[in-house]
């Protein structure tokens, strides 16, 4: 069974909005001049770049992929080791931006992350991001059973 999860965007809400503006403004400007192509590419990178994970429970492996501009994937398959630990962490964060009138806009983020702690190289890898704790614990328990072989 293969599970695919979107973990996050590379930018917060302000950066994504700026990416959309640059992307569509660049598309309009390409009609007049081809030198606007870098603006379109920059907008695509800001607006559409994401990090996603693919978890293959049957083969006991995972892949963390970075999608540049939403279409060009980077990442390789890694094997799950029996010594690895899986945990659930609560992530509470905010994105803040200031307007021209010096007014602050804050957008909250309240997620539950499934974290794989690699024993061999001491890395913490985010495998999934959920809105509820129940979903995160269910996936974490499935991975723990897979790792222990029960």
Which one is predicted more confidently, 150 or 38? Answer: 38
Residue 56: per-residue pLDDT: 87
Helix orientation angle between 13-30 and 37-48, rounded to the nearest 10 degrees: 150
Query: Which residue in this structure is represented by tokens 């991975």?
Result: 143
List of residues 6+ apart from 49 with CB closer than 8 A: 9, 10, 11, 66, 67, 68, 69, 70
Query: At 141, which helix (H) or strand (E)?
Result: helix 133-148
Q: What is the pLDDT of residues 55-110, one digit of tens each?
A: 888 888 899 999 999 899 999 998 888 888 888 999 888 878 777 777 888 888 88
Give residue limits of the domains in the chain. Answer: 2-148
Mean pLDDT, rounded, of the chain: 87
pLDDT value at position 150?
56
What pLDDT sits at residue 107? 80
């Amino acid at each position: 069974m293969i599970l695919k999860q979107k973990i996050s965007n590379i930018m917060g809400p302000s950066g994504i909005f700026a990416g959309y503006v640059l992307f569509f403004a660049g598309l309009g400007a390409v009609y007049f001049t081809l030198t606007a192509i870098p603006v379109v590419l920059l907008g695509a990178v800001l607006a559409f770049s994401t990090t996603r994970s693919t978890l293959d429970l049957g083969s006991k492996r995972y892949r963390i992929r970075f999608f540049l501009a939403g279409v060009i994937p980077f990442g390789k398959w890694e094997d799950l080791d029996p010594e690895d630990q899986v945990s659930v962490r609560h992530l509470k964060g905010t994105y803040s931006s200031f307007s021209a009138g010096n007014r602050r806009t804050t957008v909250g983020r309240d997620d539950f992350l499934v974290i794989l702690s690699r024993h061999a190289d001491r890395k913490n890898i985010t495998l999934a991001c959920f809105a509820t704790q129940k979903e995160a614990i269910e996936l974490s328990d499935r991975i723990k059973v897979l790792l222990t072989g029960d």
